[in-house]
Structure 1
Amino acid sequence: MALQYKTIHPVKYLRDFLAHNVRPDGRTLHKFRPMALNIKSISSADGSALVKIGNTSVMCGIKAELATPRAEEPDRGYIVPNVELSPLSSSKFRPGPPSEEAQVASQFVFDVLSNSCCLDTRNLCIAPDKLVWVLYCDLICLNYDGSILDACLMALMAAFTTVTLPDVEYDAEKSSTVVKSRRTALQVNSIPIATTHAVFDDNVLLLDPTGEEEDLASGTVTVVLCEGKLCSLFKPGGSPLSEQQLEGCVERAKKRVPAVLELFNATSPSTPQG
């Protein structure tokens, strides 16, 4: 009976729970779901990680390739993130070209990397104007149940901490490249951490929303913190939020940082503090 009621009146079903300050999965409005992290999940990749936030699972695999630097940044390598939301992860996605949500997620990750300075892409340069490393970062959603941006960023940063690159010698006169067997770990300067809220009925904020909660929401807002400071605020339209509500989102995001860093430190003792 409850399932039929939920199917026929999904908004009222959620409203009934929120009236008692609880959500359908038993959480309070401002409680996170459990998180899990596993690194080096793909042996053939140069770096990899698997992240779970509730029922949302994202796998990140990183492949490093040698390439010519971009003309506008001759002394820097570059990073190419790509988020894939496959039909296997959720019935809401269809086969074919990347969905709008996947493209938005890829751009979000790219923007955070650019704004946070978590990696210095000059460290990916081997010979200015000649040779750099390119890191292709594939983020594949294995199961979709909300807060996909949080999971993607967490998986990417965890994968970065596992990346090792071969030492390379470049001879400019002969234009020859020698790739050695010795490998050096990628230097990660900081860990940006994302936290998403869903806006319900224009004024109720649900922390770490599930997929169903996001579908019923009138908007979402994702706060990214790096080294305790606001790095990015991503709000793709929807209900407007007051300054006080946004400040509340930031404060709740700060409470997530220690838990995420604890996961990182448990898997990689040399992980920098975020």
Structure 2
Amino acid sequence: MAAGYKTAEPLEYHRSFLKENCRPDGRELSEFRITTLNIGSISTADGSALVKLGNTTVICGIKAELTNPTVETPGKGYVVPNVDLPPLCSSRFRPGPPGEQAQAASQFIADVIESSEMIQTEDLCIERGKLCWVLYCDILCLDYDGNLLDACVTSLLAALKNTQLPEVTINAETCAPVVNIDKRRGLKIHKHPVAASFCIFDGSILIVDPSAEEESLSTARLTVVTDEGDRLCAVHKPGGTSLSGEKLQDCVNRATLRQREIQKLIVKVLNSVKPSQ
């Protein structure tokens, strides 16, 4: 009976739970799904991390390549993010060029990298005007069940923390780069941005970490990105009903708490894998 009601009237089905301040999956309105993290999952990458947020699973691989800096920014390198939503992660996605959601997610990640200043592109310069690193950050969704952006930001941050770059010098005689793969160093991560996403039901009921079904039934969505200094790095609201100042502040407060949780998780996992590196 309940299954039939959920199929026929999914919104009313969810409302019946929200009235009791809970959700169909048993969570409270302000409760995030269990988050797990695995670092160094891709042996062929310079850094990688797999994040599982409930059923949503994404993996980020960092690949570093040597290139020439641009004339406009001779003392800087590049960071190029890309989010891929293949058909294998959900029936809602189709084969072919990146869809609208994948493109929007890639742009969001690029905006977070720039606004949060997590990576200083000057750190990626090897020799001004001659040689620099470009970091390709490929984020692949393996299983989609809502709240993609939170999982993407966490996997990116963890993968960058895991990244090791080889020592590079330039031969004075040939002017060719010399790569020493036996000497590696980690990236300097200046800030640690973490995303927290929310959905609004019926204009007033706020829930955190929405599932795919909750996203589809909500009247508005919001993602807030903060760093360890409680600085607001980005706010993403793709349409929907407006939010009051009080609701927005509530989201920011919850996002700062989430930042601390995720940063502790990343530190814990990094410390646990150090002996095996």
TM-score, normalized by length of structure 1? 0.95
Q: CA deviation at 1:3?
A: 1.3
Q: What is the CA-CA distance between 1:204 and the residue it aligns to?
A: 1.3
Match of 1:248, as an amino acid?
Answer: D
- Give how far 1:172 is off: 6.3
Structure 1: where are the runs of 5+ without partners?
Answer: none
* Corresponding position of 1:186: 187
Question: For each residue in 1:164-198, what CA deviation from the matched residue of structure 2 results, as whole angstroms up to 9, or x when unmatched?
Answer: 11111124663311111211111112210000001
Distance in 1 of aligned mates of 2:127 and 2:111: 26
In structure 2, which of residues 251, 254, 257 is the aligned counterpart of residue 249 of structure 1? 251
Deviation at 1:252, TM superposition (A): 1.2
Distance 2:206 2:178 in 1: 54
Match of 1:268 among 262, 266, 270: 270
Q: Flag the structure with higher helix content.
A: 2
Q: Deviations over 1:124-155 (max 9, x none)?
A: 10111111100001100011111100000000
Match of 2:89 in 1: 89
RMSD between aligned alpha carbons?
Answer: 1.3
Taking the aligned partners of 2:246 and 2:261, their CA distance within structure 1 comes to 25
1:30-49 counterparts in 2 under 5 A? 30-49=30-49
CA distance in 2, matches of 1:75, 1:31: 44
Match of 1:77 in 2: 77
Aligned twin of 2:275: none
Q: Return the alpha-carbon distance in structure 2 between the equivalents of residues 195 and 241 of structure 1.
A: 16
Partner of 1:205: 206
TM value normalised by structure 2: 0.94
Which residue type is aligned with residue 256 of structure 2? K
Once the two structures are TM-superposed, the CA of residue 71 in structure 1 deviates from its matched residue by 2.7
Residue 137 of structure 2: aligned partner: 137
Which blocks of at least 5 consecutive residues in structure 2 are unaligned? 273-277
Partner of 1:3: helix, strand, or coil? helix
2:61 paired with 1:56 = no
Once residues 55 and 206 of structure 2 are traced to their aligned partners in structure 1, the CA distance between those partners, rounded to angstroms, is 20
Q: Are 1:104 and 2:104 an aligned pair? A: yes
Q: Do the aligned partners of 2:199 and 2:221 also contact (CA within 8 Å) in 1? A: yes
Letter matched to residue 189 of structure 2: V
2:261 maps to 259
- Equivalent residue number for residue 156 of structure 2: 156
- The CA deviation at 1:70 is 2.3
Displacement, 1:35?
0.5
Aligned position for 1:127: 127
- Decide whether the 8 Å contact of 2:227 with 2:259 is kept in 1: no
Moved more, 112-121 or 166-175: 166-175
Runs of 4+ in 1 over 4 A off after TM superposition: none
Cα separation, 1, equivalents of 2:87 and 2:8:
24
1:79 partner letter? V
Cα drift, residue 258 of structure 1: 2.5
The CA distance in 1 between the partners of 2:269 and 2:107, in whole Å, is 27
SS at match of 2:32: coil
